[in-house]
C-alpha cells in the first residue's frame, strides 16, 4: 500500500511540470491559435531564473583574515557574501538559502518581458500563416534561446539547491499508519503547481478578462466581431502562459539541475500531453499531465514491471493508443486543429 502511494507521489512532480507546461501551451493555442515550439524554452528560462537569482544573492567578496593562515603560510582569504555582511548572517543566510522560492517573484518581470517580446516581436506576425510555419519559426526561436542560455551558463547542469528546511525528506502517511518517505521539495512543487493551476482557472473563471479569453477559445471569430481589443489580450495571455511555464521551471530547478536543453526535453513530452488531453482543452491538459506523470512512475515500479525499460516509452505508447482510439484526445473538442 505505501509503495503504491509512493509511486503515485513519484509521478506527481514530473506530472506537475507536464501539466504546467501543457496548460500554457493550450492557453496559447486556444487563444492565439499558435503552436508554440518555443514553450519549452520558457520553462528552461524559468529554471535559469532560479540559477541567476541564487548567483546574484550569493555574490561574494574576499577579505583577508589575519588571524588564520592557509597551508602555505599566507594570510587566509575568506569569502563572504554581500547578503550576509549587509543583513547579518541570520537574515542574509536565510535569503540565500531561500533563493529558489524567491526566484518566483524574480522571474515574473523576466518572464513577462520575454513573453511580450516573443509575442509582439515574432509570433504576432504568424497568426495568419499555416501551422507548419508557426511550428517552424518557434522551433527556430527555441534553438536560439537555448543557445543564448548555453552561451551564458555553459553546457553543464547547474545544481541549484532548495531551501535547507525543505530539502529533507518528509514522513508522510503517519496518520494512516503507513511508512512513506518522500522528498519534501517535491511535495512543495506539487502544491505549488496545484496553486498555480487553480490560480489560472480562477482567473479565467471569475474575471471579465478570463471570460473573454474563454469565449475566444470557444469561438475565435465571434469574439473578434464583438469589437474587443483582441490583440492586447493575446499579448497578455501569452505573457501569462510564459509566467506559468517560467514558474514551472523556477521550482523545478532543485529537482533537476537546470541545463540548456531541458526545455526541449520537456517540450516533446508536453506536446504529447497536450494531444492526449485534447487540443484546446485546459482541464484535459492538466489531467493528462498528471496522468502521464503517474503512469511513467508506475511503469518504472520494480514490483509492477511488465518489462524492462517500459517507463521510457510508456508515455508514447499511451499517447499513440489514445490518439487512435479517441482521436480528439481525452477531452478535446470537435473541429480543433483538424484541417
Partner 1 sequence: MLGLNKKDFNLLMVVVGLSLFAPFILNIFPKDSAMAFFNGGYPDLMQRFAIFGIFAIGFNILFGLTGYLSFGHAAFLGVGSYAAVWMFKLLGYNVVPGLILSVIVAGLLSVVIGYVSLRRSGIYFSILTLAFAQMMYSIAYSDLFGRWLGITLTNGETGLQVYSNDPQILLGENSPIVPHIFGLEMNARLTLPIGPWEFVFPVGYYFSALFLVLAFYLSIRIFRSPFGLMLRAVKSNNQRMTYTGLNPRPYTLAAFIISGMYAGLAGGLLASMDPLAGAERMYWTESGAVVIMTILGGVGTLIGPVLGAGTIKYMENIISKMNEKLLHEWFGFLPDSLEYSIVWVASWFTGEGWHMTQGVVFMLVIIFLPGGLVEGGQRLAARFGAKSNDTGKTAQPAE
Q: How many residues bind partner 1 (CB under 8 A)?
A: 40
Is 19 or 137 the residue whose CB approaches partner 1 more closely? 137
Q: Residue 183: in which H helix or E strand, if any?
A: strand 180-183
By CB under 8 A, tell whether 121 contacts partner 1.
no
**Residue 120, interface with partner 1 (CB under 8 A)?**
no
Specify whether the CB–CB gap between 88 and 101 falls below 8 A. no
Residue pair 146/264 in contact by the 8 Å Cβ criterion: yes
When binding is defined by CB under 8 A, the residue of 4, 82, 139, 301 that contacts partner 1 is 139
Among 76, 144, 202, 218, binds partner 1 (CB under 8 A): 144
State which of positions 145-184 bind partner 1 (CB under 8 A): 147-148, 150-151, 155
DSSP 24-57: HHHHHHHHH----TTHHHHHHHHHHHHHHHHHHH
Nearer to partner 1 (CB atom), residue 94 or residue 261: 261
Closest contact distance (angstroms) between CB of 160 and partner 1 is: 23
Q: What distance in Å separates the CA atoms of residue 146 and residue 143, rounded to the nearest whole number?
A: 5
Does 288 bind partner 1 (CB under 8 A)? Our answer is no
Rounded distance between C-alpha atoms, residue 74 and residue 95, angstroms: 32
Which of 56, 87, 178, 337 contacts partner 1 by CB under 8 A?
A: 337
Q: How far is CA 188 from CA 191, 194, 328, in A?
A: 5, 10, 33
- State the nearest-atom distance from the C-beta of 271 to partner 1, in Å: 5
Cα angle: 290, vertex 295, 296; to 5 degrees: 100
268 binds partner 1 (CB under 8 A): yes
Length of the chain: 339
Q: Residue 76 or residue 155: which is nearer to partner 1 going by CB?
A: 155
* Segment interacting with partner 1, rule: CB under 8 A, options 77-85, 132-140, 198-206, 213-221: 132-140
43, 146 Cβ separation under 8 angstroms: no
The distance of closest approach from Cβ of residue 274 to partner 1 in the complex, given in angstroms and rounded to an integer, is 8
Q: Cα(67)–Cα(76) distance, rounded to whole angstroms? A: 8
Q: Is residue 287 near partner 1 by the rule CB under 8 A? A: no
Q: How many CB atoms lie under 10 A from the CB of residue 198? A: 10
Q: Is 135 in the site for partner 1 (CB under 8 A)?
A: yes
We find the least distance from the C-beta atom of residue 148 to partner 1, in angstroms, to be 7
Residue 330 burial (CB < 10 Å; 0-12/13-18/19+)? middle
- Is 271 a residue that touches partner 1 (CB under 8 A)? yes
Contact between 141 and partner 1 by CB under 8 A: the answer reads: yes
330 contacts partner 1 (rule: CB under 8 A): no
Q: Does 317 bind partner 1 (CB under 8 A)?
A: yes
Contact 65, 314 (CB under 8 A): no
With contacts defined by CB under 8 A, name the span among 75-83, 211-219, 233-241, 269-277 that binds partner 1: 269-277
**Which stretch in 52-60, 130-138, 198-206, 237-245 sits in contact with partner 1 by CB under 8 A?**
130-138
Interface stretch with partner 1, choices 53-61, 70-78, 105-113, 126-134 (CB under 8 A): 126-134
**Spatial distance between the Cα atoms of 42 and 25, rounded to a whole number of angstroms:** 11
User: Taking Cα atoms as reference points, which of 301, 332, 330, 329 lies closest to residue 314?
Assistant: 301
**By CB under 8 A, is residue 295 in contact with partner 1?**
no
User: Which single residue is written with the C-alpha cell 516573443?
Assistant: 118
* Closest of 100, 107, 102, 105 to residue 185, by C-alpha: 100
Closest CA to 236 of 43, 28, 30, 25: 28
Would you count residue 279 as binding partner 1 (CB under 8 A)? yes
Query: Applying CB under 8 A, which residues contact partner 1?
Result: 35, 125, 131-133, 135-137, 139-144, 147-148, 150-151, 155, 264, 268, 271-272, 275, 279, 307-309, 312-313, 316-317, 319-320, 323-324, 327, 337-339
Amino acid at each position: 500500500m505505501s509503495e503504491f502511494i509512493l509511486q503515485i507521489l513519484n509521478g506527481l512532480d514530473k506530472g506537475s511540470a507536464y501539466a504546467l507546461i501543457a496548460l500554457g501551451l493550450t492557453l496559447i493555442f486556444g487563444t492565439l491559435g499558435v503552436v508554440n515550439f518555443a514553450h519549452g524554452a520558457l520553462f528552461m528560462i524559468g529554471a535559469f531564473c532560479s540559477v541567476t537569482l541564487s548567483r546574484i544573492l550569493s555574490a561574494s567578496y574576499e577579505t583577508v583574515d589575519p588571524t588564520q593562515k592557509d597551508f602555505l603560510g599566507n594570510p587566509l582569504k575568506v569569502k563572504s557574501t554581500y547578503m550576509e555582511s549587509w543583513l547579518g548572517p541570520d537574515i542574509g543566510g536565510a535569503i540565500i538559502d531561500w533563493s529558489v522560492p524567491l526566484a518566483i517573484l524574480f522571474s515574473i518581470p523576466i518572464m513577462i518581458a520575454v513573453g511580450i517580446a516573443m509575442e509582439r516581436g515574432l509570433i504576432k506576425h504568424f497568426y495568419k500563416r499555416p501551422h507548419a510555419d508557426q511550428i517552424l519559426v518557434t522551433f527556430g526561436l527555441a534553438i536560439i534561446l537555448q543557445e543564448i542560455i548555453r552561451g551564458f551558463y555553459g553546457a553543464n547542469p547547474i545544481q541549484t539547491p532548495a531551501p535547507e528546511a525543505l530539502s529533507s525528506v518528509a514522513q508522510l502517511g503517519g496518520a494512516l499508519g503507513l511508512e512513506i518517505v518522500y522528498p519534501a521539495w517535491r511535495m512543495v512543487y506539487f502544491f505549488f503547481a496545484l496553486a498555480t493551476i487553480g490560480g489560472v482557472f480562477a482567473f479565467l473563471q471569475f474575471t471579465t478578462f478570463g471570460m473573454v479569453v474563454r469565449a475566444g477559445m470557444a469561438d475565435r471569430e465571434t469574439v473578434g466581431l464583438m469589437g474587443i481589443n483582441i490583440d492586447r489580450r493575446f499579448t497578455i495571455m501569452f505573457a501569462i502562459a510564459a509566467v506559468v511555464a517560467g514558474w514551472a521551471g523556477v521550482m523545478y530547478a532543485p529537482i533537476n539541475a537546470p541545463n540548456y536543453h531541458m526545455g526541449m526535453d520537456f517540450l516533446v513530452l508536453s506536446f504529447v500531453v497536450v494531444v492526449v488531453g485534447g487540443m484546446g482543452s485546459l482541464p484535459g491538459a492538466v489531467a493528462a499531465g498528471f496522468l502521464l506523470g503517474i503512469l511513467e512512475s508506475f511503469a518504472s515500479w520494480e514490483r509492477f514491471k511488465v518489462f524492462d525499460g517500459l517507463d521510457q516509452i510508456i508515455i508514447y505508447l499511451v499517447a499513440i493508443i489514445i490518439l487512435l482510439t479517441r482521436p480528439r484526445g481525452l477531452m478535446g473538442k470537435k473541429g480543433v486543429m483538424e484541417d
